[in-house]
């Protein structure tokens, strides 16, 4: 059997708020369900970043934790250069950009792997359900998750948004996330890939090629429940799922 595909979960002790480590588990399990061998490698903060993993996953984190994380992630540049997918959530997204704010509110250099700058949202933190309609080729199903951040992320011309925001805040500019080269980033927690199997498969296809469909009945049930919660809740915009997702 070929070697197992390796999913590197980067610094879960620093970048792991809201169960984002589940994104790595979801990627590995969706491969195994298709009889493709996969393993998750937890990378501790005092360990070197593995150079040859197949996919890298970064989660959210608090301001101090994300500042520490960025100081140990210079190795991600060569990962991105060789085209390995990197999936990053919230603080993980912010530290991949050009600049973000540290815990004292000072501007801090990011890794420069996404053309974006993160400053503070005007007003209160963005906390609540986040729903977006993808604006990237090959991804159609609405993206559902929740957000909890104070960051306002402005994309530059080299970064494309992942989705148009239908409910919630996302980057703070009417869009959520970023796609640039092999990097995919979002403000969606949940974990995002448990709530959005199509997004998980979109990332997996980059390393595993065309994938056989899976029975996502349970995931669709979760999505329907979340869409219904959005309709019940007090959100900036009322939203109804398109027919294909209802």
The residue whose Cβ lies closest to ligand GLN is 60
d(CA 244, CA 105): 43
For residue 188, give the 3-state DSSP assignment: coil
Residue 117 binds to ligand GLN (criterion: CB under 6 A): no
The only residue of 30, 117, 149, 195 in contact with ligand GLN, by rule CB under 6 A: 149
d(CA 137, CA 140): 8
Residues 14-33: x where in contact with ligand GLN by CB under 6 A, - otherwise, as a string: ---x----------------
**151-155 vs 163-167, strand pairing mode:** unpaired
**Alpha-carbon torsion, ordered 152, 157, 158, 163, to 10 deg:** 50
Residue 8 binds to ligand GLN (criterion: CB under 6 A): no
* Residue number with CB closer to ligand GLN (6 or 17): 17
d(CA 135, CA 194): 20
What's the closest the beta carbon of residue 87 comes to ligand GLN, in angstroms? 14
Tally the C-alpha atoms within 13 A of residue 68's C-alpha that lie toward its C-beta. 15
Report residue 7: phi and psi, to 5°.
Answer: -105, 115
Binding segment for ligand GLN among 145-153, 172-180, 192-200, 211-219 (CB under 6 A)?
A: 145-153
Q: Any catalytic annotation for residue 189?
A: yes
Instruction: Note the Cα 225 to chain centre separation in Å.
Output: 21
What's the closest the beta carbon of residue 138 comes to ligand GLN, in angstroms? 26
What's the closest the beta carbon of residue 62 comes to ligand GLN, in angstroms? 5
What's the closest the beta carbon of residue 71 comes to ligand GLN, in angstroms? 15
The residues that are catalytic are 90, 189
Residues making contact with ligand GLN (CB under 6 A): 17, 60-63, 66, 90-91, 148-151
């Amino acid at each position: 059997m070929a070697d197992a595909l390796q999913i590197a979960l980067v610094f879960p002790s620093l970048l792991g708020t809201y169960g984002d480590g589940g994104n790595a588990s979801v990627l590995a399990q969706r491969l195994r369900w298709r009889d493709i061998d996969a393993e998750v490698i937890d990378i501790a903060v005092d360990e070197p970043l593995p150079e040859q993993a197949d996919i890298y996953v970064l989660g959210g984190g608090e301001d101090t934790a994300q500042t520490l994380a960025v100081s140990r992630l210079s190795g991600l540049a060569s990962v991105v250069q060789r085209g390995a997918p990197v999936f990053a959530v919230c603080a993980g997204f912010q530290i991949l950009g050009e600049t973000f704010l540290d815990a004292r509110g000072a501007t801090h250099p990011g890794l420069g792997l996404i053309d974006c700058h993160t400053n503070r949202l005007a007003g209160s933190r963005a906390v609540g359900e986040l729903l977006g309609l993808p604006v990237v080729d090959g991804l159609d199903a609405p993206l559902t998750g929740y957000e909890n951040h104070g960051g306002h992320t402005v994309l530059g011309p080299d970064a494309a948004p992942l989705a148009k925001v239908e409910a919630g805040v996302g980057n703070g500019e009417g869009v959520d996330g970023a796609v640039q080269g092999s990097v995919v980033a979002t403000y969606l927690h949940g974990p995002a890939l448990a709530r959005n199997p199509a997004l998980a498969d979109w990332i997996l296809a980059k390393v595993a090629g065309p994938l056989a469909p899976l029975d996502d009945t349970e995931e669709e049930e979760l999505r329907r429940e979340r869409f219904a919660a959005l309709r019940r809740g007090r959100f900036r915009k009322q939203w109804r799922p398109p027919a294909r997702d209802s």
